[in-house]
Amino acid sequence: MKYTETAPKLFMNTGTRFPKQIIWAMGVIKQSCAKVNLDLGLLDPQIAKGIIEASKEVMEGKFDDKVIVDVFQTGSGTGLNMNINEIIAERATELTGKNVHPNDHVNLGQSSNDTVPTAIRIAAVKTAYENLLPAYEKISSTLSQKGKEFDQIVKSGRTHLRDALPVTLGQELTSYADAFKHDLENLKGILEYVKELPIGGTAVGTGLNAHPEFQERVITEINKLTSMGFKPANKFRGLKLLTDLLTLSGILRTSAVNLYRLGQDIRLMFSGPMTGFNEIDLPSQEEIAGSSIMPGKTNPVTVEASLLISAQVVGLDHAVQFASMLGEFELAMGVPLIGYDVVTEEILLAEAFNKISDLVVKGIVPNVDKMKKYAESSPSLVTIISPIIGYDKASKIGKQLARGMSIREALRELGYKDEEIDKILDLNRLVKPGFPAK
């Protein structure tokens, strides 16, 4: 494998290797192209059969350890394409006894400029379908279920990290469920764009040295192997612009931010037990020691791991943004890095969603009494009487509440009877629209 042996001397040698999803996608492409070239009478049947069998073995992961080129290589991904071509040619030669050439035979009708942009799109769609979409469904449904379960558990709302009007724990959780549901719908939408493949464009999009029917025929074969509904792209756009993948990455970044916010809220509610909010417990987090020096300490370890994933996804998205700007005229020059980063983002988020759902959200145990106490003692409850006495007078009473006066005392001074006060301070009425003081 002459090219593969020489390339590491010129590319970076960081040890950053392509994920198995991208290697699998390259196998899909090579098998599909060989089948089409066979059907068109452009390949010797025995050679085509050898390439097809070797490509299947690539898809099965048998040669993952032989894909040795670094992700940080030539921006078109030629290193990856030639590494795969040489693996398949060598194996096809063994299978057929014929001299199978990596360029003349395996790469027939192709260029690195169309195969690798096609492969990273296939890999991104595969990873989304197999890992990410189910994880989105899990986190949104888990949050919705727990939101319904905790819909009557009232707690103090907080704005600017200061006491605010009451909300329910269910309302807080279902807000995140709604966010992830929207992210999921956005993801499904962009995947239809990512499914447009530029294979057949060869070097610059014109399709020179490929059969005129090559693109549509190859995509038909790809769909037979994957059942994912890929479509022909405008070949010129698909080679020069990877902004469909940039948009996909942007949705993943948005979800990472939503996940980060969820994790921060859970950490704060779990803080304590004596000097924090101590509003919830997370029994699953007690399974490992929270501290190497403080026996019995429990930390939100799964939540914090998800925060690290959130940070990484946001960073990878920024790299995708930068890499998407690389290139001029007919070719994108950030192809291998974009493919690596987007697939990595998908894998990371899927893992975080699954772990947060199973080990955190499902295990939330509300400290109902503590939440109720906070809700009833919030100075912001003066908002209830603001529509009656006006904002300015209510602000003065609010300052008294902050110094220790209870809302009950304030309402008595305004002439309300105890039974009226009980009705006004019914927490379940305070988490719904309306004017409870009227």
Residue with tokens 């939330």: 364
135-166 residues labelled b (16+ CB within 10 A) or e (exposed): bbebbbebbbbbbeebbebbbbbbeeeebbbb
Peptide bond into 273 cis (omega under 30): yes
Catalytic residue among 105, 182, 291, 406: 291
Neighbour tally for 83: CB within 10 Å? 25
CB-based contacts of 292: which residues, under 8 Å, 6+ apart? none
Closest CA to 142 of 108, 180, 106: 180
Tokens (6 digits) for 428: 């379940």
Give the angle 142-130-260 at the CA atoms, nearest 5°.
45
Q: State yes or no: is 182 an active-site residue.
A: no
Q: Distance between CA atoms of 156 and 132, rounded to whole angstroms?
A: 34
Q: State yes or no: is 380 an active-site residue.
A: no
Tokens (6 digits) for 406: 């209870």
Residue 92 in contact with residue 54, Cβ under 8 Å? yes
Catalytic residue among 111, 156, 160, 324: 160
By the 10 Å C-beta count (0-12 exposed, 13-18 middle, 19+ buried), 16 is classed as middle
Q: Distance between CA atoms of 332 and 83, rounded to whole angstroms?
A: 20
Q: Distance between CA atoms of 38 and 164, rounded to whole angstroms?
A: 70
Residue 142 in contact with residue 361, Cβ under 8 Å? yes
- Output the CA–CA distances (angstroms, integers) from residue 294 to 128, 285, 286, 289, in the order listed: 41, 15, 13, 9
Quickly list DSSP for 78-128.
Answer: HHHHHHHHHHHHHHHHHHHSS---IIIIITTT--HHHHHHHHHHHHHHHHI
What is Dmax (Cα atoms) for the chain? 100
Tokens (6 digits) for 391: 């904002």
- Specify the length of the chain in residues: 438
Active centre residues (catalytic): 160, 291
